[in-house]
Amino acid sequence: MEDPFRAKRYHQTRRILGLLSFLLDVSVLVFLLFTGLTVALRATAESLAASPPLALIVYIGIFGFITKAVGLPLDFARGYWLEWRYSLSNQTLTAWVKDQVKGFLVGAVLAMVGVQCLYVTMRRWPDYWWMIAASVFVAFFVLMTNLAPVLIFPIFFKFRPLENPLLTQRLVELARRAGANVQGVFEWKLSEKSKKANAALVGLGNTRRIIVADTLLAHFNDDEVESVLAHELGHHVHRHILRGLLLQSTATYLGFFLADIVLRRFSDRFGFRSLSDFANLPLLLLVATGLSLILLPVVNAHARAMERQADAYALHAIPSASAFSSGMEKLAELNLAERQPPAWIEWLFHSHPSVEKRLAFARRFSATYNEPGEVMKPTS
């Protein structure tokens, strides 16, 4: 069994680095806003590009470079040094740098598209921009959920059809019983980057597919792989993707509504020329960050409830609860999980119940049911 003190130190360090990264991001936004540097950057962008859309691209490029450069040391500490320090990474420094460059470029393209849409709505419909922009962003979330498995994931990971026909058939049948129409089962080459393991049901509609990490296949037997996927299918059965999108949509509309109020009240204070002055981007991001921080405990509590439902489905769907428990033990070891974090840490930061709580639930299930229960049908 994994050393619990080692896991505790890993997660404590990870939380500290995450908190420092968050505070640094906020500090950069506050600095840009209160020093007037964001207005100066807008003026520079406009001097280099004639039209507002082109000037916005220049501004986003400068803004993104500044924020990435300032945050890079902590990104390195959290994403590379810490993972190697605790023997969780297989990634070379060169490969990590390449991923950072790819991530920056992909993020820049998506950010430019999103921000262009945002300021176009501000210019054309200043009275209703927040409703229109929120609707566009919600549609974008749905689109990316559909396209990410075929457009985004392959940029960072390699995939190939699972070469074990018996396991493939077993997983496809498990998905069929859950009412999930999948387009294939793929081996996810996670070992090129990490020793951690996972499996997932990703995509929507014609991109719905099962992905299983090669690290999972290397350490888990077929029953345990099935138990991990059964948990993921539990999210499908209970409509958790839809519920997550609804929650995200609600937060998006609320965030844009609050942003409209803040911009109208404080634009003069910070020297913005109008609602559609893209120099106000740091203020918009601060509003979004503040709302995300306030909602974090609620979002995580909702996520933990969904994870418990998915666990319950998995235990009903697989032949033996022992495969669920042994799979959970292996995941905890491979992923260096904090098996029993302090209650306040779990409440504030964790989107999953602790490992010990999930194992205790499996034991109670085994004591209640001698045989697996009926497979649950999708709920509304």
User: Which positions ≥6 away from 252 have C-beta within 8 Å?
Assistant: 134, 137, 138, 141
Residue 184 lies in a domain: no
> What residues are paired with 160 via a beta bridge?
187
- Percent with pLDDT over 90 in the chain: 91
CA pair distance 360, 353, nearest whole angstrom = 11
Q: Looking at the 3D structure of the chain, how many domains does it have?
A: 1
The reported pLDDT for the residue numbered 274 is 92
Confidence of residue 2 (pLDDT cuts 50, 70, 90): low
Residue 272 falls in which region: left (phi positive, over 0), alpha (psi -120 to 50) or beta: beta
Residue 220 lies in a domain: no
Residue 224 lies in a domain: no
Asked whether the predicted pLDDT for residue 26 surpasses 50, the reply is yes
CA pair distance 22, 18, nearest whole angstrom = 6
The reported pLDDT for the residue numbered 377 is 46
Asked whether the predicted pLDDT for residue 379 surpasses 90, the reply is no
Calculate the average pLDDT of the chain.
Answer: 93
Residue 235 lies in a domain: no
pLDDT in tens, 271-311: 999 999 999 999 999 999 999 999 999 999 999 999 999 99
- Domain span including residue 270: 4-155+240-296
Cα 280 → chain centroid: 26
Q: What's the distance, Cα to Cα, between the start and end of the chain in Å?
A: 40
3-state secondary structure of 7: helix
Q: In terms of Cα–Cα distance, which of 297, 318, 174, 298 is closest to 236?
A: 174
Helix and strand element counts for the chain (H, E):
15, 4
Residue 290 lies in a domain: yes
pLDDT in tens, 45-61: 999 998 999 999 999 99
CA pair distance 145, 248, nearest whole angstrom = 13
Residue 186 lies in a domain: no
Amino acid letter for position 177 = R
